[in-house]
């Protein structure tokens, strides 16, 4: 299906460690008509990351200028850096006939939901519990005690908003959760 006429947008939201990125990657692999909307950030590129692929890497000044000009659908500060979704990036994908996939934070997702209204489907990916989430984050081996504590506090706040989205999917088993997300997406893109 071509998305040029409908301009439909897909938003996936989840606390860090709930499986959002894994599910998003599986969608991108299974549906060529869905394309990831590349966000902008002020954080430095990590090894192997390329500007325009993982993120648009902007200086603090460039990012602030874009905020002032209203170029972002949503943006926020997180862990000392800024992240945002460029309206031009989403529009470019829609104009090319794709369904943009946004992997964003709760606050931004709520704003994007208001903008796109019925031309958007939003899915909140929930961990089975905060204890399971803590275990997943700990098993990553990339969290300090301080960052783990911050992520868990943020996850508690984010999970309070799960009902603000069109769908809520519990990721207890990845394949089961993905099958549920796929069913939602197929209904949305063929509607």
For the packed helices 20-30 and 174-190, what is the interaxial angle rounded to 10 degrees?
50
14 assigned to a ligand binding site: yes
Q: What is the pLDDT of residues 36-86, one digit of tens each?
A: 999 999 999 988 999 998 899 999 999 999 999 999 999 988 778 999 999
- Reported as type and span, the H/E element at residue 102 is strand 99-103
Residue 16, annotated ligand binder? yes
44 is in an annotated binding site: no
Q: Is the pTM of this model over 0.85?
A: yes
The enclosing H or E element of 181 equals helix 174-190
Identify the CATH class of 9-190: alpha beta
- Confirm whether residue 179 is marked as ligand binding: no
Contacts of 33 (CB under 8 A, 6+ apart): 1, 2, 3, 97, 98, 99, 189
Nearest residue to 97 via CA among 191, 190, 188, 6: 6
- Render pLDDT for 111-162 as a digit per residue (tens, 0 to 9): 899 888 889 999 999 999 989 988 888 887 777 888 888 888 989 999 999 9
Tokens, residue 35 = 């394309």
């Amino acid at each position: 299906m071509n998305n040029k006429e409908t301009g439909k947008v897909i938003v996936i939201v989840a606390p860090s460690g709930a499986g959002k990125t894994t599910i998003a990657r599986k969608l991108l692999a299974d549906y060529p008509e869905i394309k990831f909307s590349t966000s902008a950030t002020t954080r430095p590129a990590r090894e192997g990351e390329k500007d325009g692929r993982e993120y648009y890497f902007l200086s603090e000044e460039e990012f602030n200028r874009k905020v002032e000009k209203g170029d972002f659908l949503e943006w926020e500060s997180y862990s000392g850096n800024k992240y945002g979704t460029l309206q031009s990036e989403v529009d470019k994908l829609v104009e090319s006939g794709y369904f943009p996939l946004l992997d964003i934070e709760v606050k931004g997702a709520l704003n994007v939901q208001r903008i796109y209204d019925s031309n958007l489907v939003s899915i909140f990916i929930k961990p089975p519990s905060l204890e399971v989430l803590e275990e997943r984050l700990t098993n990553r081996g990339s969290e300090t005690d301080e960052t783990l504590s911050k992520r868990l506090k943020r996850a508690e706040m984010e999970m309070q908003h799960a009902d603000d989205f069109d769908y809520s999917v519990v990721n207890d088993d990845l394949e089961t959760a993905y099958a549920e997300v796929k069913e939602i997406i197929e209904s949305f893109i063929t509607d």
